[in-house]
Structure 1
Amino acid sequence: MLFRQLFDAETSTYTYLLADEATREAALIDPVLEQVERDLRLVEELGLKLTRVLETHVHADHVTGAGVLRERTGATVVASARGAPCVSRKVGHGDVVRLGGLELHVLETPGHTDDSLSYLCEGRLFTGDALLIRGTGRTDFQNGDAGQLHDSITRHLFTLPEETAVYPGHDYAGHAMSTIGEEKRHNPRLARRTRESFIAFMKGRQLPPPKKLDVAVPANRACGLGKPLLQT
């Protein structure tokens, strides 16, 4: 598997490029609208064909590049059935997204938002905003639920092999990746903390809303474009 980790400095967002080296089919996970040209240039330089764009959830802190990438390349936009109505393929827990000879396994991990997904591919876990490195996503908007997030992480993610590599949707402290074992032992919100104390901690946080919330959520429900697209 060909793999690249990309970063948007303004929003501290990670975008991931995965490709099957045999067929040259490629996918982008959580692309950022302002980085579309960068991402397409990299796809071209590596001799790939973008066929999938995967979203982990309807983002509140940046506008997705999914719709523009679909228009430019014909790629299929994949996301939760609970999320944006504009996507090409709606998936749920246990579904598989095929990329040439690669298989991306869909895990429903709601709690940060009700439509949050994670994707597992060949020992790499893409967690969006559910599980972050030494942290978690917030749970105070978009139907977030602290108890549900705790259950998603402990029941679906922490049951994976400890060597599973964790690639989050954001990082604000300079970390690029972690592992399931590291997060089970060292994530301060989860390690040695009960479900009840996690819920109390999350409910006690007093955070300002994301700066782009009012713009990003409606835009992302339209795949980052001015109006929703019909399913294809």
Structure 2
Amino acid sequence: MYFRILNNDVSGALTYLLADQDAREAVLVDPHACDLPVLAALLADRDLRLRWVLRTHHHDALQPGEPEQLAFLGASVVQGDTLAALPSSGAAALPFGAELVRVLVTPGHTSHCLSFGWRDRLFCGGLFAITACPHQPRPAEPEALWDSVTQRIFTLPDETLLFAGHEQRARAVSTVQEQRRWHPYFAGQTRDEFLARMAALPEKN
């Protein structure tokens, strides 16, 4: 197996490459059009066929042309607003090589957020980046975000690795246990307290 984290130094956005090198099939989580030359070169260097483009969330209204540019990668794109029929339990899996990526429906940061589980890792986009996303300074659906985090993410094993869509203080990864105990907006909060804090966030960064 091959796993790579790619960090855009300008935006702080993170992209993840997962690959079954024996089958020469790969998955990209949260690729961005501005990074396409680097991503294409990386795939070509390892002779990998891209099977899936997985988007935990997107802000295409603010980034015109992004979907069309990602289509040049030549792989099926999976994002929440195209999976309306997916069960709320997120009971879906996407194969690549001998591996599977699990799909979890986790709205809140935006209305159609997804998280993707692979082995002991969960790629959860902006769920925990309450104020770090430059395009979404506050959650689009705070009630749904609380439910997604507390009912779907915090019920996973403590040691599950959580990979963010935006770096925070130069960090890309944490664990379920760490976020449950120390997250500044979720740890030690009731639902009402959390929603009150979300309502107090400014509309813009």
TM-score range, shorter chain: 0.7 to 0.9
- Number of the residue aligned with 1:52: 52
SS at structure 2 position matched to 1:149: helix
TM-fit CA distance, 1:91: 4.9
Equivalent residue runs for 1:184-195 within 5 Å: 184-195=180-191
CA distance in 1, matches of 2:146, 2:132: 9
CA distance in 2, matches of 1:65, 1:173: 27
Number of equivalent positions: 200
TM-fit CA distance, 1:10: 2.0
- Number of the residue aligned with 1:99: 96
One-letter code of the match for 2:79? Answer: A
CA contact (8 A) 1:110 1:148 kept: yes
- Number of the residue aligned with 1:35: 35
Unaligned runs of 5+ in 1: 210-232
Let me know the Cα RMSD of the aligned residues. 2.5
TM-fit CA distance, 1:45: 1.4
RCO higher in 1 or 2 (8 Å CA, sep ≥ 6)?
Answer: 1
CA distance in 2, matches of 1:128, 1:176: 10
- Number of the residue aligned with 1:25: 25
One-letter code of the match for 2:184? Answer: P
The normalised TM-score by structure 2 is 0.87
TM-fit CA distance, 1:40: 0.8
- Number of the residue aligned with 1:68: 69
SS at structure 1 position matched to 2:192: helix
TM-fit CA distance, 1:147: 1.5
CA distance in 2, matches of 1:101, 1:63: 35
Deviation above 2 Å: which 4+ runs of structure 1? 58-71, 89-92, 134-141
TM-fit CA distance, 1:68: 2.8
Percent same amino acid among aligned pairs?
Answer: 34
* Cα distance change of structure 1 residues 197 and 151 upon mapping to structure 2, 3 Å threshold: same
CA distance in 2, matches of 1:12, 1:63: 19
CA distance in 1, matches of 2:127, 2:119: 20
- Number of the residue aligned with 1:13: 13
CA contact (8 A) 2:132 2:168 kept: no
* Cα distance change of structure 1 residues 109 and 40 upon mapping to structure 2, 3 Å threshold: same
